Amino acid sequence: MEILGKTDKLITRYFQESRHVEDILGIKEEGEERDIWRRYSKERMKTVSVALVLCLHIGVDPPDSVPKPSARARLEAWVDPYSCSPQKAAYKIATSLQKSYERWQPRARYKSVIDPTGDDVRKICMSMRRNAKDERVLFHYNGHGVPRPTQNGEIWVFNKNFTQVRQKIRSKLH
């Protein structure tokens, strides 16, 4: 916005309206009311148990896998799964993943299950839910060695001989 003054000088005026130059006053809050959400969230937002369910089956592609590009990410939880034997790599991945979660939830109890069967997954879910009582349980599922979860949230796990994968119904895990 430009205005010509009495001396015919060009005066530029931007942001000179009252809404731009007046002091901004916020709503006065009492200190106790302001921090009440912090106290409430600490009481309510407790994750007491973390289940790390890793269906990796390193070295075997899942039945529904799409063609993989040659330049792809190879690290799982910052561990190269092909740097050592599949069993050692799976153990290293589980350990690395647990350490990552421990930074965020240092007081939670952790249980890792590597390449579990359906019964193993059900047992770990039931024991963690029983121990957690009314608190939250975090369920981390990594299914790179099995088909993708279904639209209904059903996950896939191995049978006891690793010869086939089976669908695990979500409602049976509660």
Instruction: Tell me if 52 sits within 8 A of 95, measured CB to CB.
Output: no
For the chain, which residues make up each domain, given as ranges? Answer: 45-59+73-173
Q: Is the pLDDT of residue 6 over 80?
A: no
DSSP letter string over 50-99?
A: EEEEE---TT---TTPPPPPSS----BTTB-TTSS-HHHHHHHHHHHHHH
Tell me the two tokens of residue 115: 């390449």
Q: Tokens standing for 8?
A: 């015919």
Structure tokens at 140: 């981390």
Query: pLDDT tens digits for 27-73?
Result: 666 656 666 666 666 555 688 899 999 988 887 777 776 677 776 77
**Confidence at residue 29, expressed as pLDDT on a 0 to 100 scale:** 61
β-sheet bridge partners, residue 112: 52
Provide CB contacts within 8 A for 153, sequence distance 6+: 170
pLDDT value, residue 90: 92
| Residue 44, pLDDT score | 59
Predicted pLDDT of residue 133: 86
Contacts of 102 (CB under 8 A, 6+ apart): 108, 110
Provide the whole-model pTM: 0.67
- What local confidence, expressed as pLDDT, does residue 9 receive? 65
75 or 2, which is more confident? 75
Which residue in 138, 145, 136, 139 sits closest to 164, CA to CA?
145
* Burial annotation 104-128 (CB, 10 A radius, 16+ → b, else e): ebeebebbbbbbbbbebbeebbeeb
Q: Mean pLDDT across the stretch 116-138?
A: 89
- What are the tens digits of pLDDT across the range 145-169? 778 888 887 888 877 776 666 666 5
Q: What mean pLDDT do residues 133-152 have? A: 85
Q: What is the pLDDT of residue 157?
A: 81
pLDDT tens for 67-103 read: 777 767 788 888 998 889 989 999 999 999 999 999 9
Query: Which residue has 């994968």 as its token pair?
Result: 165
